[in-house]
Amino acid sequence: MKPTKHFVYFSSKASTSGKALSQGNLMKAGRIDIAIHSLIQGVFLSHDFREDVKFHFIFNGMPDPPKHIEIQIVEDTPISKRDVAKIIQKLLYKYKPGTKNEVFPGCFIEKKSFFHVLEELEEEGCELFTLDKKGELLREVEIEKTPVFILGDQEGLPKKELKKLKQMATPISVGPKMYFASQVVAVVNNELDYREI
Ligand SMILES: C[S@@+](CC[C@H](N)C(=O)[O-])C[C@H]1O[C@@H](n2cnc3c(N)ncnc32)[C@H](O)[C@@H]1O
């Protein structure tokens, strides 16, 4: 299998409460629906999975931010496109202070900030890219190490985070329009497929 690539999806408002998701309104829970669409584009294929993609969510919404959720599909991950919301809800319910809890095979939750997660990936030797409409064209960017693609939710990455990201990540653009987060993930995966990364 090819080396694992990473997507890191940051949302300032995505709820950190399992209960908020149980009310069945993913939009009201800080647009968890957008997070789910992005994950689907990140790790699902038609009748298959992208087992070489690790998808990270950083949820910074109330009541207990930050939460780092990590999902990589492995043999026994009990996931289908229909029940991603339930998986995320269960992960939020099963958060245990002080540990990185593997709630389902390949699915973890812990309390860890956005930059802490990125710093750890850097220490592992990964190369960071911020998905940004004004960045260098993805098609022209050389990817030399294991890539990490960082993206925002419906509100985009906050200014404070973007400022710090400038020092550690290369901004790259997938095209001249402002796309949905999920569309951006699909385009990046497609480019990696062509390059066989
Ligand atoms: C729906 S967009 C955010 C829109 C938000 N109103 C803004 O102005 O940033 C969600 C995320 O997709 C990514 N994105 C959208 N269009 C892009 C593009 N053309 N190139 C690279 N990334 C893009 C960015 O990371 C953005 O934070």
pLDDT tens string 3-20? 899 999 999 999 999 998
Residue 90's DSSP bridge partners are: none
Ligand 1 site, residue 138, Cβ cutoff 6 A: no
DSSP 8-state class, residue 77: -
Contact by Cβ (8 Å): 35, 87: no
Q: Give the model's pLDDT for residue 21.
A: 87
Ligand 1 site, residue 192, Cβ cutoff 6 A: no
pLDDT at 165 > cutoff 90: yes
pLDDT at 157 > cutoff 80: yes
Chain centroid to Cα 26, Å, comes to 17
pLDDT at 24 > cutoff 80: no
CA of 172 to the centre of ligand 1 (A): 11
Separation of alpha carbons 184 and 34, rounded Å: 12
pLDDT (mean) for 83-98: 96
CA of 109 to the centre of ligand 1 (A): 25
> How much of the chain exceeds pLDDT 70, in percent?
100
| pLDDT tens, residue by residue, 111-133 | 999 999 999 999 999 999 999 99
Which H helix or E strand runs over 69? strand 67-71
Indicate the domain borders of the chain. 1-197
- Give the mutation target among 179, 180, 187 for probing the ligand 1 site: most ligand atoms within 8 A of CB: 179
Q: Beta strand 67-71 with 48-49: parallel, antiparallel or unpaired? A: unpaired
- The two tokens of residue 71 are 């999902």
> How much of the chain exceeds pLDDT 90, in percent?
90
Ligand 1 site, residue 25, Cβ cutoff 6 A: no
Q: Give the model's pLDDT for residue 141.
A: 97
Nearest to 59 by CA among 104, 21, 3, 23: 21
Separation of alpha carbons 51 and 16, rounded Å: 26
Chosen CATH of 1-197 out of 2.30.40.10, 3.40.1280.10, 3.90.1150.10, 3.30.499.10: 3.40.1280.10
CA of 177 to the centre of ligand 1 (A): 9
Separation of alpha carbons 93 and 87, rounded Å: 10
pLDDT (mean) for 144-170: 97
Ligand 1 site, residue 120, Cβ cutoff 6 A: no
Separation of alpha carbons 151 and 181, rounded Å: 7
- The two tokens of residue 157 are 């990455």
Separation of alpha carbons 41 and 188, rounded Å: 10
CA of 129 to the centre of ligand 1 (A): 13
| Calculated CA dihedral for residues 66, 163, 5, 136, nearest 10 degrees | 150
Q: Which residues contact 69 (CB under 8 A, 6 or more apart)?
A: 56, 57, 59, 88, 91, 92, 107, 108, 109
